[in-house]
Every structure is written in structure tokens, then in C-alpha cells.
Amino acid sequence: MPSINFPSEFKDIIIKYNNRDFKNALKLLDKIPENKNFKIFKLQLYASIYFLSQKWENSLIYHNKLLSHEDGSFEVYNNLAVTLFHLGKVNIAIKYFIKCIEKNNNIVSPYQNLGMCYVHIGEYQNAIENFVKALTINKRNKNCNILLIDLLNYVIPNDETGNYILQLNKQILDFFYNKKITDISKNLDIITIIEEIEKTLEKENSQIDYNKTEIFRRNRLNLDCKRHFKVFDKFSIIPEYCFGCYKVQINTTNVFQLIKLLFLFNSDFLSNHIRKCMVETRYQVKENYKGFIYCTGLDDAKNICETTKVKLNEFGIDYKNIEIKHGCTEYYQKYPDFKKINLNGPQEMLYSETWKKFEKIIDDESPNRDKRVIVESINKMNLSDFLIIKNWLNYAELIGDESFKKFYKMKASPNFLNLRLKNQIDFRRNEL
């Protein structure tokens, strides 16, 4: 809330407000009599209280009332835009974030938020432009750095000048330009480009805290996993969508083989399927190095499994096993029958129609939202990939997997994985 000289009648309300006792602040505010001299003060307090307490519908009402009585300030436009974004009205939010920037173009948050809006509607070049502008104001802004790097999985920037992250990404794109998958999978000469990344980061005096461990290649299908886990976490039921979710899982023997699998996934092999490579960090979840191919049903999974076995042998990728999985591991403890797969008939566990009402509750919590546009991966090695590969190398060193020494001689630096794996190092080593 901007600095305002409130009338003395508002003294107790302001004390409650400053102590973030919004419930009692609202009770006192409701008792302030209607008075044209107090009208704007009341609107400002209502709008700010509802905004800070994330009561988005009421925040929208009172910020719009404020705009009907006075010209918008930076704070009002910003709060209104953030409110609209949380209500899923992304396209309208964009207009108000632009108004924020017109009021003050030297603050990071409107550029960052505007970039996030453009990501939501699939306008990635506009998103990049705004993240870069935010980073010209503060190049160490963690959120903007991560958001910008994430986008490099989906788009090649129109202009790399003026931002070292985009320039690093161009180095990687150029390095792998026209390289064939067979050459890379046999040689894996990636140490050169990793060293170049590290030199540039050192030169820029920048340490990118990119604590991700999964590399995805996506199509335009929205798996909507966050929504499904929200249903499961709140009601302990498996969503209907997940009963048709099958994936092929490949467990590789070490990190060297995982990187080879990544390059296989990065080829034209199964380019119409969502796939990912990852290191396992979930507590007590077996296997360290995994690749997944998401399938459109059980028959598709059976076909993909057989085709993948041929490709794994063709490219000399050592793996422990390859299997078809049903849904997500998180479901198995509560519903062990869901894990079981009948390859030639009805499944042992079927979706209960009584669960539909619970899914509807979750869906009704977010009505009339602007639909998020899903953009497929560009399927090219990029900066995001290599920062995650570096995390994989740290992981390998932590658990005693020395296969990374075949192509990476540098000592891994401590990072977020040291803490994440603190209580499971022995378990991970036994999984090698």
C-alpha cells in the first residue's frame, strides 16, 4: 500500500493492517460510516487488504472501484494486474502490466510478470524480451534468470545480443549444429561446451542457481499433472485421466548412459511423444537414472517398449531394465492395485464413477480462466539442458558413480543436491 496520510478515524485499522491482522482490520473498516471525505481512503484499504490476503475476487472489485474514482497509480495498476493473473484473466492482466511500465519503467516485477503472462498465452518471443528487460535492471534476479532459461527449451530467441544467458545458449546451439546423433552418442564430447559455460559464468560473476533435475521434450499435449496431483492430494483419489496414462520407463546403469539416452531422446526418435530424462531424488524411490516415454494408452506403450529396446541396442546404451508403468509412483502406496498392469485384458483397478464429483470440485475452483497455450519443445540442445546435465554430474559424484569421469574431469561444486540427498546417499549408492 502506498504511503498515505489517513484520517485519525482510521488509526486502529492501520495498526491492525500493519500487523497483518486483516480479519479484524476489515471488521473495523466496515464500521467506518459512509462519508465522502473518507470514500477514497476506505477503497484503498479494502483493495489493499483483499490483495494482501489473496481474496482475488474482492481485490478485483475494489481495485476497479478505485480506478473509477481516480487516475491509476503504479501500485493500483500492478495490484490489479496481479489480481487478474491469479483469476486466470491473463490477457486483461497484460494490459495493466503495460500500464505499470508506462508509469515506471525501472522496476523488475512488471517486466517479469508481463513475461509470465506471455508465456501463458504462448507468445515466447515477447516473454523473452520482457525477461531480458527485467535483467537489464537487475541481472541477478533469480526468478527472471530461471524463467528465461526455461524458455530456451521451446524457442530460439530472435536476438541474443545484450544478455549473456542468450549468448551462452547460442554457443550451445552452434556447437551442436548439424551434429548427428550417432556421432554424439558414441563420442559425447560435451566437456568443451561445459567448460565454455563455466568460463562465461565466471566472467559474468554469475552463479545461476538452476536446481532442476529433469529434461523434458514435449509435444502440444497438456498432461496437466499439477491439476491431477491437486485432486489426489486433496481427496486421495486418482483422477480419471491417469487411468489412461501409461509410460515406458528405462533405467540406465549410470549417468554416462543417461546422457546417451538424452541424446537419443533428442533425435527424431519418437518425436511425437512426450519424454524426459532425470535423476531420482525422491526419498526411498528406487533407481537413480531414468528415462520416460509418455504413451497414449497401453497398446501404444507396448509398441513403444519394443521399438525402444531396438534403439537402445542400436545406440549402445547400457540399461538395467525397461518396463511399462501405469500412472505415477505417488499413487502406488495408497492404491497398490493401480500399479499392476494386465497386458492382455481389463485392469485390476478401474476408475470409480463416484470420484467425478471430487474432480469437479477442483475444476470449479478455477472457472473461466484463459487457457494456457502449450508449445512443443524445439528438440535442440540448449542452455537449460546443460545446466541440468551439470546437476546430473554433481549427483553422480555424490553417490559414487564414477562414469562421469569418462568425459568430465572437473570437481563438481556443492549445490542444492548435497542437501536434497543428505539422508539418502547410502540408499542411492546401493541402487548403482
Q: What is the CATH number of the domain that holds 117?
A: 1.25.40.10
Q: For residue 354, tell me if it sits in a domain.
A: yes
**Alpha carbon distance 28, 34 (integer Å):** 13
Distance CA 45, CA 423 (A): 47
- pLDDT attached to residue 5: 60
- Same-domain pairing of 117 and 228: no
Low-confidence ranges of the chain (pLDDT < 70): 1-7, 178-191, 204-207, 367, 407, 409-412
Residue 414 lies in a domain: yes
Do residue 135 and residue 261 come from a single domain?
no
Q: In what order do the strands lie in the sheet with 214-217?
A: 214-217, 275-279, 289-295, 246-252, 319-326
Q: Is residue 22 part of a domain?
A: yes
Q: Are 397 and 409 in contact (CB under 8 A)?
A: no
| 133, 151, 169 - which closes a domain | 151
Same domain as 268, residue 120: no
pLDDT tens digits for 225-281?
A: 889 999 999 999 999 999 999 999 999 999 999 999 998 998 877 878 999 999 999
- Domain boundary, last residue among 100, 124, 151: 151
Q: State how far the Cα of 176 lies from the Cα of 382, in Å rounded to an integer.
A: 9
Give the pLDDT of residue 98: 97
Whether 315 contacts 188, CB under 8 Å: no
Residues 146 and 231 in one domain: no
Residue 236 sits in the same domain as residue 322: yes
> 418 and 290, same structural domain?
yes
Q: Cα–chain-centroid distance for residue 226?
A: 10
Distances 195 to 179, 183, 191, 292, 409 between C-alpha atoms, Å? 19, 20, 6, 29, 10
Local structure of 40: helix, strand or coil: helix
Residues 251 and 356 in one domain: yes
Q: Is residue 242, in this structure, part of any structural domain at all?
A: yes
184 within some domain:
no
Strand ranges (E), 273-367: 275-279, 289-295, 319-326
Pair (146, 260) in one structural domain? no
Q: Please indicate, yes or no, whether residues 133 and 220 belong to a single structural domain of this protein.
A: no
* Residues 299 and 418 occupy one common structural domain: yes
pTM across the whole model: 0.87
What CA–CA distance (Å, rounded) separates 218 from 376? 5
- 97 lies in some domain: yes
pLDDT at residue number 267: 82
Q: Are residues 31 and 126 in the same domain?
A: yes
Residue 188 counted as domain residue? no
The three-state secondary structure class of 320 is strand
Is residue 187, in this structure, part of any structural domain at all? no
Task: Report pLDDT for 188.
Answer: 55
Q: At what angle do helices 39-52 and 22-31 cross, to 10 degrees?
A: 160
Yes or no: say if 161 and 132 are a contact pair by the CB < 8 Å rule.
Answer: no
- Give the range of the structural domain holding residue 284, as residue numbers without chain letter: 214-430
Of 124, 151, 178, which one is at a domain's C-terminal end? 151
Residue 346: partners with Cβ closer than 8 Å, 6 or more residues away: none
Cβ within 8 Å of residue 20, ≥6 positions away: 52
Number of domains forming the structure of the chain: 2
Q: Are residues 244 and 147 in the same domain?
A: no
Distance (Å, rounded) from C-alpha 295 to C-alpha 71? Answer: 53
